[in-house]
Structure 1
């Protein structure tokens, strides 16, 4: 398994749909090359004790933006809510919220090169984690060499039609992909801080999911479903097993092709009586991979992480891909919790300039 060398995960070694792209360019050469906009469907009422802030940040993590907001307006960072974590080396726009007395005038919001409050609106409820539905990306890859225009167009058309493998990106594995070392330390009995323990558990689950997805691609069992798959209904977390439905297999395959349902892979953890498990060919691949990673599979179960399922396919139906000179521009929308790098890797290879060498 080339993607795991010692304690380092190399996401570039996970299987591609066909092969790695030929073109190679620079990602995040400047923050403006990686723009992300949160899509949140909440209709703000315009009244209430909570103020929602539409914020543009540049070169800041979401927690750093929270600290800056808190300091500027004199509230505790814990009193500022947000829906999701956004990239640091980027220009991102997302919602934050805080409680502010209804009869008290709103403060002067920060407005500088790193943090700008673009809009402030009142609402009756606070913003909670996971509220946003999707993220819109506008990404420019600079100075692409060995670019094959015909191959790029073929790949873009395939991504629009089939989506991409729903891999967890390099962010899940830490600097140099070495958060797996934390996983091994935790599962061998070492005490870790709460934050490092969270990184360790997340890295282990992400590795196992990616490994199963990698095996499906190498077995040419993607994007099509396999007999015995567990499916997830599009736009929900609801899952059902092919073995538990009387729907004909041809119908399930057609629904999967249309994106109404998606085959899933494991997010391993503690087994529960209500868990829905794959059978037949899908189980053979999944169980075989998890057996190879028994150290991580058993550790996640021992630490009481709840087992879940995650879609193996990531739809990208609105992709706009273009090339101008030596630069490539990609614009697309992804559901919350998915990774833009999983789309990029199928179209052009990149050197991430925000990552220390």
Structure 2
């Protein structure tokens, strides 16, 4: 997206100069119970992706990769901490202390009666450093305060789209792929297509200036939830809750069926659907179900400091599915190191 909520970033800088500059810690919202067939591993990884780590843990444990589970995908170019579970029915705990896994540290191993399920996580906590910082520092301070109070657009980050996932989604829908993609690759293409349509709707709401306000026909999403309801844009109580970031206007993740949005909100969405008709129709054809996503994200517990000259350190928490780079783009015109 080229649109910004607050007028574009006031400073420039560099992110990911080292993996340690981008630290992510998963918050599942539940803990292992200490007994059962599943071994939960609290893992720190650096410069490797989540799927790769799961495969290496499966090899080390001597199990099929299907027996290793995780809640969410984490950045490769970062230091991240997250849980993995390994299904080990009738087996003793392996000696994880002797596993030699480059780029992977096992910080804790605990039994649980439940496996970790994909998508079942509450939030992620971030600690980021932006180096080579230059620009209007007073404006940056003001922008940080605004983001802390009012949040930022909840767009999908560029990593969602990969190098050519949108082009491959179009090819998939046209039947032009030379080979049938694996289930996981097809999932990436479908997710990218939905994300692009959502971002187009969000961009239009940003252009209009009402991305953070309820309008006629909006569907409001509860903060931190996928639940939504038909909003009344004139209701003082709902206006208050939206101002306090308890509820947010939402946008479409297209799929089968008609969008439940109405009025002005539906008109905006239908215009985008017409512009992206091949993606919208393809998503329905491939069985995706309509869902909603908040147009705005709350940036929880945002704190900032300047630990070194020309260096900004940020810490904050985001609900699952939200991108740290979507926060950064409102603050810093960044390049990657």
Structure 1 residue 37: Cα displacement = 0.4
Which residue does 2:209 correspond to in 1?
220
Structure 1 residue 113: Cα displacement = 5.3
CA shift digits 1:165-222 (9 cap, x unpaired): 00000011112xx321112212222244134432221111111100100100110112
2:10 is the alignment partner of 1:22: yes
* Aligned equivalent of 1:332, options 302, 307, 316: 316
* Aligned equivalent of 2:243, options 250, 253, 257: 257
2:190 is the alignment partner of 1:201: yes
> Relative to 1, partners in 2 of residues 1:25 and 1:301: Cα closer, same or farther, differing over 3 Å?
same
> Relative to 1, partners in 2 of residues 1:107 and 1:223: Cα closer, same or farther, differing over 3 Å?
same
CA shift digits 1:10-39 (9 cap, x unpaired): x4x2x1012221322111111100000011
Residue 338 of structure 1 aligns to a residue whose secondary structure is coil
TM-score, scaled to structure 1: 0.88
Q: What's the RMSD between the two structures over aligned residues?
A: 1.8
> Partners in 2 of 1:340 and 1:288 — Cα distance?
29
CA shift digits 1:263-320 (9 cap, x unpaired): 1001111116xx6x22222222222222222222222222221111100010013111
> Relative to 1, partners in 2 of residues 1:105 and 1:305: Cα closer, same or farther, differing over 3 Å?
closer
* Aligned equivalent of 1:38, options 26, 30, 37: 26
> Partners in 2 of 1:250 and 1:84 — Cα distance?
37
CA shift digits 1:49-97 (9 cap, x unpaired): 2111101111110111112212222222221111111111111110011
> Partners in 1 of 2:288 and 2:96 — Cα distance?
43
* Aligned equivalent of 1:83, options 71, 76, 87: 71
Which residue does 1:92 correspond to in 2?
80
Which residue does 2:123 correspond to in 1?
134
Residue 301 of structure 2 aligns to a residue whose secondary structure is coil
Q: Is the 8 A contact 1:316 1:332 kept in 2?
A: yes
2:244 is the alignment partner of 1:299: no
Residue 106 of structure 2 aligns to a residue whose secondary structure is strand
Q: Is the 8 A contact 1:182 1:199 kept in 2?
A: no
Structure 1 residue 111: Cα displacement = 5.3
TM-score, scaled to structure 2: 0.93
2:142 is the alignment partner of 1:159: no
Provide structure 1 residue ranges, at least 5 long, that are not aligned to the other structure.
1-10
Provide structure 2 residue ranges, at least 5 long, that are not aligned to the other structure.
none
Paired residues, number = 332
